[in-house]
Chains A and B, each alone.
Chain A
Amino acid sequence: MAEYAIEMLNITKKFPGIIANDNITLQLKKGEIHALLGENGAGKSTLMSVLFGLYQPEEGEIHKNGKRVTINDPNDANALGIGMVHQHFKLVECFSVLDNIILGVETTKGGLLQKEEARKKVVALSEKYGLSVDPDAIVEDITVGMQQRTEILKMLYRDNDILIFDEPTAVLTPQEIQELLTIMKNLAAEGKSILFITHKLAEIMQVADRCSVLRKGKYIGTVSVKDTTPEKLSAMMVGRDVNFVVEKKPATPKEVVLDVRNMTVASKHHKNNAVNNVSLQVHRGEIVCIAGIDGNGQTEFVYGLSGLEPLKSGTITMNGADITHLPIRRRLTMGMSHIPEDRHKHGLVLDYSLEDNIVLQRYFEPQFTNPFGFLKRKEIRKYANRLIEQYDVRSGQGAVTKARSMSGGNQQKAIIAREIDKNPELLIAVQPTRGLDVGAIEYIHKQLVAQRDAGKGVLLVSLELDEVMNVSDRILVMYEGEIVGEFDPKKVTVEELGLYMAGSKRKEAVR
């Protein structure tokens, strides 16, 4: 028996203007969890898509159990037992969980679907691996966590034994991450081989056996996880030492830039309010962080602030002006910037070029539109190129690259460049580092601090406790739509915060 379940030998894959994979060799042992690490745009997703048959490499071969195989499309991959959970899920939104799982491999009798058998198998699998899903729920109504479990069940249902996870943890809550890591360990213990892409070094340290590192499309090396440290890994990945601690001077809060009073926002999912009577202030020169477990009203609170959702009651004052009922455009031109939580839903027009996305918030300014309503294409190009350079947004063809073809992390960087360069008074950043590599995270954190030091108010919404503790000057914990505590990051422990986030403790009357 061959030692390796999968070998990808000397793989090269090119896209217009860029070599996404340059002579990469990756060997996956049977029953191991193999992490794949690399900066944004290093070519991780591309390499996995090659293995899954979505792209054809120009050079190189793939071996399974020592025998050469050709994978022309995902069906071939499936036949070889290779399954993939994509970075951005690929589920049919209006189908039920069960329908999504069996899609493509339905059992039929006389042309009719035999769902009962399938349902039994799905239920059995979900019990066995602790992947709790509701088979009859419609995908668009369920949480990302459950969508992910659906994707995993999809692979298991097809009896795949090579499992590819492309950044599965980027969208999960810490609890869900722990659950997922346990599930992965169980799967590996059963003899399944797992390829695991993540930017979070702690996760690699926790579950992976070995880790391969890519940098700018090139293969750097493979290390055994028990012989390495997060620092060594990140140095291997970005080619320099990364500073995990954010360096910043103590904050010097000045006048109030954002004043929210008694904000209440209705919920779309239940009859209680998603945001209930929340009051808070953000001063110039401070970073205020809203911490909390996903789904406790942070999203709706930001929607209320930015005008994406109407308020049920309450007022919002920015820079002394009442903006409660102003349209979105007015809020934005009055100095609000908003890095949205969902980059594909709100942040980008995926079929627009990078440059068109970069001016999404400013295209109407005289700088980019002449008095007759014509776009100044040259100016737009110049501006986009400056931001691409300054924020190191990597893509195949620069300003004219379609946003859709960019790597997830670089899409995020483009949004951040756009929002920060608008020179806002108030920067609302929701999960700004989701899906970014450690180097980029370091850079973004520095930018947030720089905005603060330039006298801007920064409101950060984050699910990552590390980020919360590291970057913020003041922490507000949100639980079930209410602010349940206010903390100084220097005087509180992660454990203490956790208790508030889980709702087991709360302070009364915080302001």
Chain B
Amino acid sequence: MSTEQKKEGSLLKKCIRNNGFQTIIGSLLCIIIGLFIGYIVLLVINPQGAGKAITAILKNFLYYPSAAAAKKYFGTTLVKASALLMCSLSVLFAWKVGLFNIGAAGQYVIGAGACLYCGLKFGMPWYGCLFAAMIAAALVGAISGALKAYFNVNEVISCIMLNWIGLYVVNMLLSNVKEQTTPYTRPLSSVNKSALLPNIGLDKLFSKNEFVTIGLLLAVVAAIAIWILLEKTKFGYELKATGLNKNAAKYCGMREKTNIILTMMIAGGLAGLGAGIFYLTGIEQWMVQQTSVPAMGFNGIAAAFLGGSNPIGAIFSSYFIQHITSGGTYVDKTMYCSQISDLISAFIIYLCGFVFFFKVRLNRYLDKRDEKKGGAK
């Protein structure tokens, strides 16, 4: 083997051994397999429309032939994706500290309730509403954290219960600010325009889609901030140590109880902000008779893992999941029910566990191959 070839070989090898690289490959694989299974299900339900349906899901806003319309709906997908991103950040942040924040869904609900109530009832401006959403959700997160830290109550259980408590509290609260004739809250645009997030010209980029706001930027900034916090700071070092070995954290004097509570607070705050940047665009009103917790928080779990529990990865995975979820609405409803896209994203989500599996398998294969070659390292 010439030295040139050798160099190339080792570069490739380095790449293939790289953790991030493996995560990306794994995630892409599970997306492909998920779509494939989805396609088969579509075939089984109705063989004629399957190809069209799967294209519709993948095309999402590209369904519109006019560039302007496509741009507009691209904007809408982005708005939803940014809320999803916040939820997935919430999940992955807690995950890094060894906690499973299935409560992101409930924290999101509380955030929605807080910002809408502040906007509609008290006429607060957008930043006040955002702040309220964040604080309220952080407090709910702190409840789970404190239960875990002081009474060793499993956070999954307390989170699930708080999800339901949150939903009904918010339904009750927002009944005060709903429209007379419908179960929806009154639109912010007619009650209190100051509560709407500023567009700072972003709407122009998306064919005057007024829902595209600074929320997008906030979400991306939050992702980067979380990455920096986890990887570069003393605080992140402490939190991760607590997550990896609680006893060692205690031994070296980290306040592991405080850290657990703080983590859940931050996770809650992130989910709450997610609700804020979604509802404060005015894109949707809250339906006060909802009997199920909005899926946003749960999808956040999927996005977090699909993104390899990396904040930057989450940006892409959140967008993708939202892309196919939105794409689902363009499926021909005479052939399939509209939940079909949920089903496909559920497959992909289900396959997220596969990312881990894939990495283990790949490494084992690489080890074996290296061994056969006489271990050239």
Contact = CB atoms under 8 A, between A and B. Distances in A.
Given A14-B375, A58-B371, A345 B247 contact: yes
Given A363-B234, A375-B233, A327 B244 contact: no
Q: How many interface residues does chain A have, given as a range?
A: 35 or more
A57 interface: yes
Contacts of B252: 328-329, 332, 360-361
A56 B371 contact: yes
Contact of B250 (A12, A16, A328): A328
Contact of A329 (B244, B253, B375): B253
Given A16-B377, A356-B237, A57 B248 contact: no
Nearest to B232: A374
Contacts of A329: 252-255
A273 to B, nearest CB: 22
A308 B253 contact: no
A369 B235 CA distance: 10
B179 interface: no
B10 interface: no
B122 interface: no
Interface stretch (A78-86, A156-164, A346-354, A501-509): A346-354
A332 B249 CA distance: 13
B377 A346 contact: no
Given A347-B248, A351-B244, A352-B241, A373 B377 contact: no
A168 interface: no
A16 B255 CA distance: 35
B371 A346 contact: no
B368 interface: yes
Contacts of A373: 233-235
Nearest to B364: A56
Given A308-B251, A329-B253, A349 B371 contact: no
Contacts of B377: 14, 16
A434 interface: no
Interface of A: 12, 14, 16, 56-59, 306, 308, 327-333, 338, 340, 345-352, 356, 360-361, 363-364, 369, 373-375
19 contacts: A12-B375, A57-B371, A308-B250, A327-B255, A329-B253, A333-B253, A345-B247, A349-B244, A349-B248, A350-B245, A351-B244, A352-B241, A356-B241, A360-B248, A361-B253, A364-B234, A375-B233, A375-B234, A375-B237
Contacts of A14: 375, 377
A188 B7 CA distance: 52
Contacts of A363: 234, 237-238
B244 A352 contact: yes
Given A14-B377, A56-B371, A375-B234, A346 B251 contact: yes
Contacts of A356: 237, 241
Interface of B: 232-235, 237-238, 240-241, 244-245, 247-255, 367-368, 370-371, 374-375, 377
Nearest to A346: B251
Given A328-B253, A349-B241, A364-B234, A59 B374 contact: yes
Query: Which among A348, A349, A356, A369 has the highest number of chain B CB atoms within 10 Å?
Result: A349
A331 B251 CA distance: 11
Query: Which among B245, B254, B255, B374 has the highest number of chain A CB atoms within 10 Å?
Result: B245
Contacts of B248: 345-349, 360
Nearest to A331: B253
Contacts of B250: 308, 328, 346
A403 B359 CA distance: 21
A346 B234 CA distance: 20
Contacts of A58: 370-371, 374-375
Nearest to B233: A373
A443 to B, nearest CB: 24
B233 A347 contact: no
B367 A56 contact: yes
B251 A328 contact: yes
A360 B367 contact: no
User: Which 7 A-B residue pairings sit nearest by Cβ, starting from the closest?
Assistant: A329-B253, A58-B375, A346-B251, A328-B253, A369-B234, A349-B245, A14-B375
Query: Which among B248, B368, B371 has the highest number of chain A CB atoms within 10 Å?
Result: B248
A361 to B, nearest CB: 5
A346 B374 CA distance: 39
Given A338-B251, A352-B240, 18 more contacts: A12-B375, A14-B375, A58-B374, A59-B375, A308-B251, A328-B253, A330-B253, A333-B253, A340-B251, A346-B248, A347-B251, A349-B245, A356-B237, A360-B248, A369-B234, A374-B233, A375-B232, A375-B234
B253 A332 contact: yes
A366 to B, nearest CB: 11
A340 B249 CA distance: 13
Contacts of A338: 251
Contacts of A346: 247-248, 250-251
A146 B257 CA distance: 32
Contacts of A331: 253
A504 B367 CA distance: 57
Nearest to A377: B232
A117 B23 CA distance: 46
A360 B371 contact: no
A428 to B, nearest CB: 12
Contacts of A333: 253
Contacts of B255: 327, 329
B233 A360 contact: no
A58 B248 CA distance: 36
